[in-house]
């Protein structure tokens, strides 16, 4: 761009129209001082969860691996304490929208925190919407819960009366299954849907 006759070279300006200006500002701060403020900037404040996702996305786009790692670490610290806040489901949606399946930087921590607090999270309508609408999240959460896979001695096989799907499940950390991993149909007691072998 510098050596060519591009419009940016002639005007001495580069327009980054697709990027959040707060995230770009954070990237510039990081490049000069290896730090940025997770709460936003003079361009306006936003949820620290969502802001760090934007910074992670910009760092990935412009190949700034140290910034990407820093954004990931800040994001992980925030969701460990703020998973019960209203913006957690929005953070899941945004992270899955701006990353690819192979990029576990944000997706992995979101699945882990969701698994750890699933009983509480699934009571919220916004989290239920995420399970239904965010492509890939529910599937990764089910895989992380180890609901599908080789049989273990403490597992039982279930058949959902709503969709007919079958899966195996064991109580995880003393919690029992409350919904079907395929159709999210809820039951207070799945014991009458155990498949007798």
Q: Please report, for the chain, the start and end positions of each structural domain, with discontinuous segments joined by +.
A: 7-145, 151-197
The Cα-based distances of 165 to 13, 148, 180, 187 in angstroms read 57, 11, 8, 14
Position 195 scores a pLDDT of: 80
* Alpha carbon distance 136, 96 (integer Å): 8
Mean pLDDT taken over the chain: 83
Convert the pLDDT of each residue in 69-114 to its tens digit. Answer: 999 999 999 999 999 999 999 999 999 999 998 899 999 999 999 9
Of 14 and 112, the one with more pLDDT: 112
- For the entire predicted model, the pTM comes to 0.68
Nearest to 25 by CA among 10, 12, 38: 38
Task: Give 148's pLDDT tier (boundaries 50, 70, 90).
Answer: very low
110 burial via Cβ count (<10 Å: 0-12, 13-18, 19+): buried
């Amino acid at each position: 761009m510098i050596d060519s006759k591009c419009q940016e070279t002639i005007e001495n300006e580069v327009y980054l129209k697709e990027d959040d200006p707060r995230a770009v500002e954070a990237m510039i701060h990081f490049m000069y001082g290896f730090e940025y403020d997770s709460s936003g900037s003079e361009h306006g404040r936003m949820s620290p969860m969502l802001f760090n996702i934007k910074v992670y996305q910009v760092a990935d786009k412009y190949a700034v691996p140290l910034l990407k790692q820093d954004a990931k670490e800040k994001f992980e610290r925030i969701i460990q304490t703020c998973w019960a806040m209203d913006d957690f489901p929005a953070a899941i949606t945004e992270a899955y929208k701006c990353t690819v399946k192979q990029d576990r930087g944000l997706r992995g921590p979101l699945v882990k925190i969701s698994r750890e607090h699933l009983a509480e999270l699934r009571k919220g309508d916004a989290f239920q919407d995420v399970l239904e609408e965010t492509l890939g999240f529910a599937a990764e959460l089910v895989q992380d819960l180890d609901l599908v896979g080789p049989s273990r001695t403490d597992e039982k096989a279930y058949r959902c009366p709503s969709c007919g799907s079958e899966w195996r499940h064991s109580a995880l950390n003393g919690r029992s299954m409350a919904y079907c991993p395929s159709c999210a149909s809820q039951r207070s007691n799945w014991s009458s849907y155990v498949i007798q072998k």
